[in-house]
Amino acid sequence: MRRLRNVKIVATLGPASSDYKTIRALFEAGADVFRLNMSHGSHAEQQARYEIIRQIEADTGRPIAVLADLQGPKLRVGTFAAGAADLEEGNQFRFDLDPAEGDGHRVCLPHPEIFAALEPGARLLVNDGKIRMKVQNCGADFADCIVTTGGTISNRKGVNVPDVLLPLAALSEKDRKDLEFACGLGVDWLALSFVQRPEDVTEARALAKGRAAILSKIEKPAAERAFDEILKVSDGIMVARGDLGVELPVEAVPPIQKRLIRKCRAAAKPVIVATQMLESMIESPVPTRAEVSDVATAIYEGADAIMLSAESAAGRYPVEAVTTMNAVARSVESDLTYREVIEASRSVQRKTVADGIVAAAREIAESTDISAICCYTQTGKTVHLIARERPRVPIIALSPETVALRRLCLSWGVHTVHSNEVERFKMAVVNAARAARDYGFADEANQIVVVAGVPFNVQGTTNILRVAPCDERLIFRTDPE
């Protein structure tokens, strides 16, 4: 029988992975979702990659999800007369709105929103936190700081402001244009950067108009503090550990990662763990042992997906990176400890009929000889509930809605199958049995669990569970109409 890898792999496309041959190789190596990073590349380049993905989808007959990752506002210093300046610990340094070139004492920070939010004691981090300063005095157009960690500050380096809620929208003008472009292409997920509050997510959702699901990137302390509210209005979450590790102490990131994964699972919303998972494979054909352990940890914690960034977009070994991630995932998921950890972390409040049905489906599958749980869905919501249970058997999602199937490519343990609309439950069972056999999850001697809603093709009607044989003759002989 075929064994499905449960955790999904997200591969970022870029200069190292822009042609049909490479993207097809990434898909065959195990990539389930392709990420288009809107911070890099033109719209024409992104469109070409998108069209290749859809060609591969057509050629293989398997739905593929596309995630467009919006850049978000970029806060940067201005320029220096000498191109750079060396700052030592204890030095005084000023940020202001004066566009004149900077020196070792001051530089322009062309973001009045930062000055409006700053207060004495707040930290300013430059160049991914390599240079750190603390605000001593500030006003509407300046901030006098003391350098707490020195280094070389140079032209247009990025600035992080971790201690205050900035009065900045998550969507810049560029993001709005990129969002409309990506939705016009037909991407399945939009990743929203610089999220600080739930209103950032609802603004993006209003612009998307249902054309793409919204995934919130948790990369700022404000987002971590407001996470419960952000999760409620998001369709999924990305734990973006790079920026999070700049603005928070690095030792704070692992417990945050674990906590956010558990909350996402309880809410039945997919969660991606991202950033530097196999960073050394940008240049090396093999990862470090620590990187392998990092990937394994995310899988043990129950993440829906793990992500490659520069490794697959710009690295020398993009296919090898996906192959490695796939191998690590299969190794972890075959470990008995994995099931113990996953099942010990199951904590769900049963509030609806659908909650009860998917829990029963999982319990039946684990206590009897069941080969797969098959679910008919219009929107994917019931499939997310099944995935939350983390069953020991594969989840087969059947739907006539291609959009729903593509979005489900991000969800733990789900194999997606396009199905024609059905009007009778008997035919739903027959189609589910055929899918289980056709994709190698069962044979005629096996049984499956079928979850569906009657009447069919109506959202939110999950109300029926059937244990069925995979032998169609037995289905026609015994099942009700």
> Residue 321 in contact with residue 315, Cβ under 8 Å?
yes
| Rounded Cα distance, 368 and 363, in Å | 9
Identify whether 76 is a catalytic site residue: yes
Q: In the sheet that 159-160 helps form, which strands lie side by side, from edge to edge?
A: 106-108, 92-96, 142-149, 131-139, 123-126, 159-160
Q: Is 275 one of the catalytic residues?
A: yes
On whether the CB atoms of residues 179 and 192 are closer than 8 A, the answer is no
Told to judge if 12 belongs to the known catalytic residues of this protein, a careful annotator would answer no
Terminal-residue alpha carbon distance, the chain = 30
Positive or negative torsion for Cα 301, 302, 307, 311? positive
Instruction: Output the DSSP codes for 301-314.
Output: TT-SEEEESHHHHT
In 334-420, at which residue ranges do the beta strands (DSSP E only) sit?
370-376, 395-399, 414-418
- 12, 275, 382, 416: which is the annotated catalytic residue? 275
Catalytic residue (one of 62, 76, 134, 392): 76
CB of 426 closer than 8 Å to CB of 480 = yes
Whether the CB-CB separation of 272 and 311 falls below 8 Å is answered with no
Active site residue 217: yes
Out of 5, 24, 35, 265, the active site residue is 35
Which residue among 5, 123, 205, 217 is the active-site one?
A: 217
Nearest to 110 by CA among 75, 82, 59: 75
User: Please, is 354 exposed, middle or buried when counting C-beta atoms within 10 Å of its C-beta (0-12, 13-18, 19+)?
Assistant: buried
Q: CA 75 to CA 159: how far, in whole Å?
A: 5
Query: What count of residues does the chain have?
Result: 481
Residues contacting 126, CB < 8 A, separation 6+: 77, 132, 133, 153, 157, 158, 159, 160
Which residues are paired to 213 by β-bridges?
A: 189
State the Cα torsion 469-474-476-481 to the nearest 10°. Answer: -50
- Which amino acid, residue 65? A
Residues tagged active-site: 35, 76, 217, 275
